[in-house]
Structure 1
Amino acid sequence: MRLCLGCGEMKPKRELIRVVKAPDGEISLDTTGKKSGRGAYICPDPGCLEKAQKARRLERSFSCRVEGDVYDALQQQLAAATGSGDHLPEGG
C-alpha cells in the first residue's frame, strides 16, 4: 500500500504512478517502477497531481524546489501514460 500525494488515500502500489527524483536531480514519471532514485506516488488522475502541486507535496517528498515547468511536463507524461486526451499538442 502506498499513499497518493494528491488525494491522500492509501492504495495498492499497482494502482498508483511513481514520480521519481533521479540522482542527477531530474524529476519524471516512472511508469515501470524500476528507475533509481527517490520515489513518491500519485493516482493516475491529473487532479491529484494538481492537488500535490498546490500543497507542495512533491517539494516536501524530494526536499527540493520543484518548478512549474516540471509539473507541466509531469501533467503531459501523465496524460500520455494514462491515454487521456486532456492535453492538445501546441499549435493544434
Structure 2
Amino acid sequence: MKSRKVPLRKCVVTNEMKPKKDLIRIVRTPEGEVVIDFTGKKSGRGAYVSNSKECFEEAKKKDVFSRHLNIKVSSEIYDQLISDRTKGDLS
C-alpha cells in the first residue's frame, strides 16, 4: 500500500522543515487581525513556528511574525503562545 505524503512547512524561527502537524500556525486574517490557528485551516496569510518555548521566545525577541505577516503583531500574541505552552494547552 502507498503511504500518504506528509505535508511539510518551514518554521519561521529555525528555518527547519517539519511536518505541518508539529508546527503552530499564526494567521493574518483578511480582516487584518492576527490570531493563533490551532486547526491550520483558517483563511489568510500564515506563518508557522515550532511548538517549543524557546522558538516562541526567539520569535518574540526578533518580532518574526510582523515581518512574515506584513502587519504589526502585538506582543500579546507572543505572550499567549508562551503562556499556553507553559500551561500545556498546546500539544
* TM-score of the pair, normalised by structure 2: 0.76
Q: Confirm or deny that 1:81 pairs with 2:90.
A: yes
* TM-score of the pair, normalised by structure 1: 0.75
1:22 to 18, 29, 44: 29
CA distance in structure 2 between the partners assigned to 1:36 and 1:25 by the alignment = 11
Larger radius of gyration: 2
1:34 to 18, 34, 41: 41
CA distance in structure 2 between the partners assigned to 1:69 and 1:36 by the alignment = 21
Equivalent runs, 1:1-92 vs 2, <5 Å:
1-78=8-85, 79-82=88-91
| Greater fraction of residues in strand | 2
Runs of 4+ more than 4 Å apart: none
Whether the aligned pair in 2 keeps the contact of 1:5 and 1:41 (CA below 8 Å) is: yes
Alpha-carbon offset, residue 77 of structure 1:
4.1
Q: Root-mean-square deviation (CA), in Å?
A: 1.6
Structure 2 spans left out of the alignment, 5+ residues? 1-7
Identical counterparts, % of pairs: 41
Larger mean CA deviation between 27-36 and 65-74 belongs to 65-74
Alignment partner, residue 86 of structure 1:
none
